Amino acid sequence: MRKILLLFFLLGFVATAQAQLGVRAGYNSSNFSNTDFDSKSGVHVGAYYNIGTGFISVEPGIQFSQKGYNGTEAGTGNEVKEQLGYIDIPILVRLTLIPAINIFAGPQPSFFVSSNYEKDGQSSDSSEAIKGYEVGGVVGAQVRLPLGLNFQASYDMGFTSLNYFNTDVKNQVFKLSLGFTFGGN
């Protein structure tokens, strides 16, 4: 009986759903959890596909996101900067509170793709110090603007350790984004 009800619900959702493709880009402020490092500025850029009704929608997406930190090496006082590149795949559930505002949350697997480590004027692109993936989550709010534009603020939090130089740290990223939905109102 549950399977029949679930199938009925999904068929109804798909029949009334409207799908829209969009692009998004913006500013990141990232850091590692459980550290005294300073945040690192970066950018993110990607695309999303929103499927849903007026009240609830599901939005899978893909984006390149710069994460990392700025800090000072203990003992030597050398300045350290770490810029990490990730492919994020957020799968968001959006709830529309009023026509122009929605809140969202969902899981986000991320895959490590690049590194730029700078210390004492020396640069390295080695990726040996960090795990190749992480599992995290995203929460945030969005304001829909005229002409298909949207603005959102979100917070990405890592749930799994990056095992960074055998230390238990997780990515934490605050994002401000401007998006455009093709065919959006």
- Reported as a pLDDT band with limits 50, 70 and 90, residue 21 is very high
Cα separation, 152 vs 157, in Å, equals: 16
Mean pLDDT over 93-109 rounds to: 95
Radius of gyration of the chain (CA): 19
Question: Of all residues in the chain, what percent carry a pLDDT higher than 70?
Answer: 87
Predicted TM-score of the model (pTM): 0.82
Q: Distance between CA 184 and CA 32 in Å, rounded?
A: 36
Thinking of the domain 2-181, which architecture would CATH place it in?
Beta Barrel (2.40)
Residue 56 parent element (H or E): strand 56-72
Contact 154, 172 (CB under 8 A): no
Sign of the Cα pseudo-torsion (86, 159, 170, 25, in order): positive
User: Amino acid identity, residue 153?
Assistant: A
Mean pLDDT calculated for residue range 69-81: 81
In the chain, domain spans = 2-181
d(CA 41, CA 28): 6
What average pLDDT does the structure give for the chain? 85
With beta carbons less than 8 A apart as the criterion, state whether 99 and 73 touch.
no
pLDDT bin (cut points 50, 70, 90) of residue 143 is very high
Burial group, residue 156, by CB count within 10 angstroms (0-12, 13-18, 19+): buried
H or E element in which residue 38 lies: none
Count other C-beta atoms under 10 Å from residue 15's C-beta.
Answer: 8
Measure the CA–CA gap between 180 and 162, rounded to whole angstroms: 32
